[in-house]
Amino acid sequence: MMAQLTSSERQNIIAIGLAILIGGFTLAILGRNDILGIHALLFVAAGGLAIIVGARNLYKPEPSEDRSQSYYDDPSKVGIFLALIWGIFGMFIGDWIAWLMAFPDMTFSEGWSSFGRLRPSHTTGVIFGFGGNALIATSFHVVQRTSRARLPSQVLPWFVLWGYNLFCLLGVTGYFMGITQSREYAEPEWYADIWLVIVWVSYFGLYIWTLARRKEPHIYVSNWYYMAFILVVAVLHIVNNLAVPLSWGSAKSYSLFSGVQDAMTQWWYGHNAVAFFLTAGFLGMMYYYLPKRAQRPIYSYRMSIISFWGITFFYMWAGSHHLHYTALPHWVQNLGMSFSVMLLVPSWASAGNALMTLNGAWHRVRDDAVLRFMMVAAIFYGLSTFEGSFMAIRPVNSLSHYTDWTVGHVHSGALGWVAMIVFGSFYALVPWLWKRKSMYSARLIEVHFWLALAGTVVYVFALWNAGIIQGLMWRTYNDGGTLAYSFMESVDAMRPYYVARGIGGLLFLTGTILCLYNVWMTTRMATETDTESVDQSVATLQPAE
Amino acid sequence: MFKTHYKLERNSVALALGIIVVSGIGGLVEIAPLFTIDETVEETQDMRTYTPLELMGRNIYISEGCYACHSQMVRTLRNEVERYGPYSLAVESKYDHPHLWGSKRTGPDLARVGAKYSDAWHVAHLINPRDVVPTSIMPKYGWLAKTPLEMKDLSLHLKAQQRVGVPYTDEQVENATADAYAQATPESAGQDGVLERYGEATNVRAFDGDPKTVTQMDALVAYLQIIGQLTQVPYADNNSEKKGE
Ligand code: HEM
């Protein structure tokens, strides 16, 4: 892997490593009387590792000259593995906490393993670890193919990839030690947040630099989405994480905003993390891999334009639907509700565009589990966006909010859409990247497909039931005009559904493990040279006009 | 329109700027006015800040992720007002950096839990919820009672709170550590100082039942007992009549 780097690039790696090492040391010394002192050692370790890797390869021969004729895919390859490993970690924790909600003592007696600390480890592990690495890996691949340009640097992609993973690691290890800002999906503390800003700016720089070198006059749809993902997440991340630390030597900070303004900022972030991380980025993925795999152009170019700008504009207004009937002023609640309903139009335009692209290739969908992953993803995307718009309507929300219905909704999107599109794209991408004829085992893909689908359906149906029952029990009155159920009765009623969810999660997790195994075995197969042409051609990508 | 777009998608910088502008509008329109419109947060006379001990309890609540299962926001719905108490007002979380409104009720809302149970109930409940509520699915938090509270940098905590806009006086900042100790140690020399700085109604007790050491349990229970009690405005007559929709 290092063989492709020039010696000056290896020197750059050492320099970057040194900078991280020094930064880490400074932080560790400043925070020596605080938990920060321990946490900063992760920076030291990361910097040290970069130096060692750079130094050990420093005097290796220079790479051959013709590399500029090809694409640079090593970071994507590593990213795929990182995504799957994080996925297994995050889903394992997810299933653990799922069982904890039925059997609360199924854990250790130390703080790190208690529900409240595991839950953010789950969300960070799956959203940022699994989803984020999948986005980075595929965005590097897609931007090169659709621009017909090689990544302009061989150091920056590694910095982005490993730097990002360092952020995820800081997050998860922090929660285990009780370090958290308590902001949903933005739990890591100030120093990790600043680190992510540095990484993210590099990511954007790399992306726009690659686009600038493109040989295609047009920027392909996927890149619009990947760009929106990178840019908007940057803005959201910076604003939502504004905070004042106790000192440069303390891990703890206090959020700059309080109360109602803080809640609104947090959900403006939280909802758009769903929109621009879990939706826009993955739509970018879908717009490339689905037409490629189906060997058909995107159904409608105009629909993709409308849905892109619709999503970019409408989503940012929708966050306040998380705060219906709260102390947030009514006018904001109503704006949030209205825009959430309007959001259905661009969302269904995207889902429809994807499904119409498959129209005429249904025989392939039937025979090819990879394409089926993508089709199911598009369907679940349509379903969960419909459900989301529905739940944003105030009276519906009065029933669904605070209940397991929300969690069911989240996972219909997370498992059905996000994870499925990742699996489909990976199965398409891996043979291209490693230049293999096909995946190691088509049967295992088939098994994975059914495990994932079954897991999702069990999970989502169980929690729909759970949530609606819970919501109704909380609001049911006796004939005498008093509340019919105590809170505990509603907790007791949840147990069978929580058990079912635990089983569904186990199926889904098993599928992900099979995926990692299948990818690993594929990389160990013999190389097949002529598959390259599929991956190199951009012909099928031209949108229908 | 599609013609313009045809041009836009040939220019990466213009596309990036377009994305920023188009996505920026919603947040600006919804968030910025919350800071400027006066009616957003109600006026109160009696609102006090958290004592250092309560603030540390709040931080433990955050670290342990209690917010993942408990909301602190009674909505303006009749059944919620009847189950929990008066609905939450914006002013109640005015000093909450960050807010802890929550999004999931695996356990009940806690906005009105202050002064609802005895300290001993909370301690027993946190050590093992199933001793108190047999079918509870809440985790055990036994280590809180055994872990001494870290108190040396409390002044830094209050100072940071000052910086983000909570009206702590410099005197409160200076005495933060002493006040935390005194609040959990009744009959100690510092007791009067606590009452003077935070009001006569401040709870001064050995919250975990053991006056000898100040533990994380002391802090957390002190916090639980003050939730919803920083101001009495929600309980005033004109408010409790508003029963919600
Ligand atoms: C094996 C598969 C999975 C299982 C068993 C699982 C389980 C869980 C559980 C038990 C919770 C806590 C729910 C609660 O507090 O009531 C949760 C929350 C969450 N999970 Fe998962 N999960 C899985 C996969 C995923 C994936 C792949 C994603 C995203 C890509 C995801 C995203 C989330 C999010 C965003 C939340 C927070 C929901 C909210 O606050 O309403 N999960 N999950």
> Which residue of A326, A477, A501 to mutate against B (max B Cβ within 10 Å)?
A326
CA torsion angle A352 A358 A362 A363 (round to 10): -170
CA torsion angle A373 A378 A384 A390 (round to 10): -160
ipTM of the complex: 0.95
Question: Whole-angstrom Cα distance, residue B180 to residue A196?
Answer: 35
CA torsion angle A364 A370 A375 A381 (round to 10): -170
Spell out a b/e string for A162-189, using b for 16 or more CB atoms within 10 Å of the CB, else e: bbbbbbbbbbbbbbeebbbbbbbbbbbb
- Within an 8 Å CB–CB cutoff, is residue A239 touching chain B? yes
Two tokens, residue B42 = 């109600």
Q: Bridge partners of A186?
A: none
Whether residue A128 is predicted with pLDDT greater than 60 in this model: the reply is yes
Nearest to B31 among A102, A104, A265 (CB): A265
Closest-CA residue of A relative to B102 is A402
For residue B48, how many other CB atoms are within 10 A of its CB?
17
Locus of tokens 């109160």: B44
- pLDDT at site A539: 40
- Chain B residues whose CB is inside 8 A of the A316 CB are 23-27
Ligand 1 binding residues, C-beta < 6 A: A 91, 94-95, 97-98, 119, 122-123, 126-127, 131, 184, 406-407, 410-411, 414-415, 418-419, 505, 508-509; B 68, 103-104, 106
The answer to whether B35 contacts A256, with C-beta atoms less than 8 Å apart, is no
Whether residue A65 is predicted with pLDDT greater than 90 in this model: the reply is no
The answer to whether B63 contacts A180, with C-beta atoms less than 8 Å apart, is yes
pLDDT digits (tens, 9 = 90+) for A182-240: 999 999 999 999 999 999 999 999 999 999 999 999 999 999 999 999 999 999 999 99
Whether residue A501 is predicted with pLDDT greater than 80 in this model: the reply is yes
Two tokens, residue B240 = 């409790």
Cis? peptide before A291, omega within 30° of 0: no
User: Which residues have C-beta within 8 Å of that of residue B116, sequence separation ≥ 6?
Assistant: none
pLDDT digits (tens, 9 = 90+) for B16-54: 999 999 999 988 898 888 888 877 888 888 899 999 999
The answer to whether A325 contacts B105, with C-beta atoms less than 8 Å apart, is no
- pLDDT at site A62: 83
Q: Bridge partners of B215?
A: B148
Q: Is the dihedral of CA A320, B114, B184, B198 positive or negative?
A: positive
Q: pLDDT tier at A533 (50, 70, 90 boundaries)? A: low
pLDDT digits (tens, 9 = 90+) for B49-64: 999 999 999 999 999 9
DSSP secondary structure, A392-447, as one string: TSHHHHHHHTBSHHHHHHHHIIIIIIIIHHHHHHHHHHHHHHTT-SS-S-HHHHHH
- pLDDT at site A540: 42
Lowest mean pLDDT among A165-174, A295-304, B125-134: A295-304
- Within an 8 Å CB–CB cutoff, is residue B157 touching chain A? yes
Among candidate residues A105, A329, A166, the one with its CA nearest the CA of residue B35: A329
Q: pLDDT tier at A543 (50, 70, 90 boundaries)? A: very low
The answer to whether B31 contacts A264, with C-beta atoms less than 8 Å apart, is yes
Question: Whole-angstrom Cα distance, residue B2 to residue B4?
Answer: 5
Nearest to A246 among B34, B133, B160 (CB): B160
- pLDDT at site A538: 42
Q: What is the pTM of this model?
A: 0.96
Spell out a b/e string for A26-43, using b for 16 or more CB atoms within 10 Å of the CB, else e: ebbebbeebbbbebbbbb
Whether residue A544 is predicted with pLDDT greater than 50 in this model: the reply is no
Do residues B15 and A219 make contact, with C-beta atoms less than 8 angstroms apart? yes
Measured between alpha carbons, how far apart are the two ends of chain B, in Å? 45
Q: What is the mean pLDDT of residues A374-381?
A: 97
The answer to whether A208 contacts B12, with C-beta atoms less than 8 Å apart, is yes
Q: Kindly list the distances between the CA atom of residue A264 and the CA atoms of A231, A259, A326, B100, in Å, as whole numbers in the listed order.
A: 20, 9, 11, 12
pLDDT digits (tens, 9 = 90+) for A139-163: 999 999 999 999 999 999 999 999 9
Mean pLDDT of chain A: 94
Whether residue A459 is predicted with pLDDT greater than 60 in this model: the reply is yes
Do residues B216 and B149 make contact, with C-beta atoms less than 8 angstroms apart? yes
User: Which residues have C-beta within 8 Å of that of residue A437, sequence separation ≥ 6?
Assistant: A431, A525, A528, A531
Q: What is the mean pLDDT of residues B59-78?
A: 97
- Chain A residues whose CB is inside 8 A of the B5 CB are 305
Lowest mean pLDDT among A1-5, A346-350, A392-396, A424-428: A1-5
Which residue owns the Cα nearest ligand 1 atom 39?
A407
What's the CA-to-centroid distance between A242 and ligand 1, angstroms?
Answer: 26
